[in-house]
Amino acid sequence: MKRIFLTAALIINAILSDCQTANTVHHVLNVDVNPETAEMFVTDTISGFATDNLVFRLNKAFKVESKSPGVSVKLVSDNSKAGDIGMDRESENEGVVLSKWKVSGNANSVVISYEGKLDAEIEQSKENYQRGFSQSPGIISDNGVYLAGSTWWVPVFENSLMSFKLTTVLPADWKNVSQGERTLDRFFDGKHIDTWVCNSPQEEVFLIAAAFNEYSYDMNSGVKAMAFLRTPDEGLANKYLEVTEQYMDMYQGMIGDYPYSKFALVENFWETGYGMPSFTLLGEKIIRFPFILHSSYPHELLHNWWGNSVYVDFDSGNWCEGLTAFMADHLIKEQRGAGEEYRRSTLQKFSNMVNTENDFPLSKFLSRHDGASEAIGYGKSLMMWQMLRRKIGDDKFVEGLALFYKNNKFKSASFDDIRIAMEEVSGVGL
């Protein structure tokens, strides 16, 4: 008997190490949110953590208790800064103070509970357009709820990704949007309760809630297009649902299957342009500019391939912004006969912003923080993809992208991984 178990365990380990670069910790989260008092109450059943890595980090606002008999969770320290931790590379919000907790006892899974109040102010960023991690350390308010990786509201084990099942209890007219697929959506006892399940390894868990009006459309590809608006507007929702299908078809044809089962437009309560895995969070004004439908919106949709399923290995530079700008902003202009114009204005921005003092190689780009870093990380990068495409031809370029996607889905990838795929399909030494 023992040998059979051991063999099974070895096979499972081999499968895991073959298809995942980092360990995936699974969270079953039950969350009760009170927008009036800014409080939240969480129970989290955690499994899949490595036995040699029993320490997790969490926002200091929360007091943790173990609910598993024989397993203790002890405070190790309560003053580490979010900015000191490698994983949060894109965050400018380094002020969140974290506690470190250690799990002790012989357990493969542990149930913990924690509660706290999150009522920080939202700082409006000068740079609205950035991916993922936000300026806000997380907020629960009458106006809406925004919890993300930068909030540190879900226990984070080092060098781990996370999968989750998130059940949220909210006021009756509210809804939550998160990554993955919604498996429960109902009223119970004067409250609204919903569950989102995401089994693909994620970098963070989002909980975005408000009194949303919901619209949806089942696309031919089998993926669901959804829109969550803060004021009812069927006309606006329909425009988004339509272009979702148009660009979904285009990108699935070029790169490969969309990695999630839905894509949602979600209206935020401050002006943002964030692309999260399987949804985008756009501000009230932004979603009403007609040009967004064919610029920022497809850009955020494309991030589901680049950045939100193939993750960025930041040690060797952020390849995903330039590639996304090239295949969304630039390509859509090119399809309308304005590719040259777009490239000329990209080059103009570069020569206006960048000089010998502030220039740097693409391998040093992490995220944009000023005009120069944008002209490099988006602009110079975009021109490099254009050069590569001209060198190996459109067909090989697209074939190489599809191979890169296939080989690196739900893993961290680098410029090198793209080079390897492009060399393989083109036979050209790059």
Binding site for Zn ion (CB under 5 A): 131, 321, 324
Q: Which is nearer to Zn ion, 146 or 274 (CB)?
A: 274
Which of 284, 262, 260, 256 is closest to 217 using CA atoms? Answer: 262
Q: DSSP class of residue 270?
A: S
Residue ranges with strand state E in 203-299: 207-210, 213-218, 224-229, 262-267, 273-276, 279-282
Task: Compute the distance between CA of residue 380 and CA of residue 130 in angstroms, rounded to an integer.
Answer: 17
Q: Which is nearer to Zn ion, 321 or 374 (CB)?
A: 321
Please tell me the total number of residues recorded for the chain in this structure: 430
CB of 418 to Zn ion, least distance (A): 17
Report CA dihedral (114, 73, 28, 16) to the nearest 10 degrees: 150
CB of 306 to Zn ion, least distance (A): 8
In the complex, the smallest distance separating the C-beta of residue 382 from Zn ion, rounded to whole angstroms, is 11
Closer CB to Zn ion, 330 or 396, in the complex: 330
Report the residue number, 374 or 399, with the smaller CB distance to Zn ion: 374
Closer to Zn ion by CB, 135 or 324: give it: 324
Q: Which is nearer to Zn ion, 123 or 127 (CB)?
A: 127
Q: What residue spans of 110-258 are helical by DSSP H?
A: 234-254
In angstroms, what is the minimal distance from the CB of 299 to Zn ion?
A: 6
Distance CA 366, CA 340 (A): 27
Q: Which tokens is 264 given? A: 């949602």
The dihedral over CA atoms of 33, 89, 332, 310, expressed in degrees to the nearest 10, equals -90
Q: How far is the CB of 303 from Zn ion (least distance, A)?
A: 6
CB of 258 to Zn ion, least distance (A): 17
Q: What is the C-alpha to C-alpha distance for residues 129 and 122, in angstroms, rounded to an integer?
A: 16
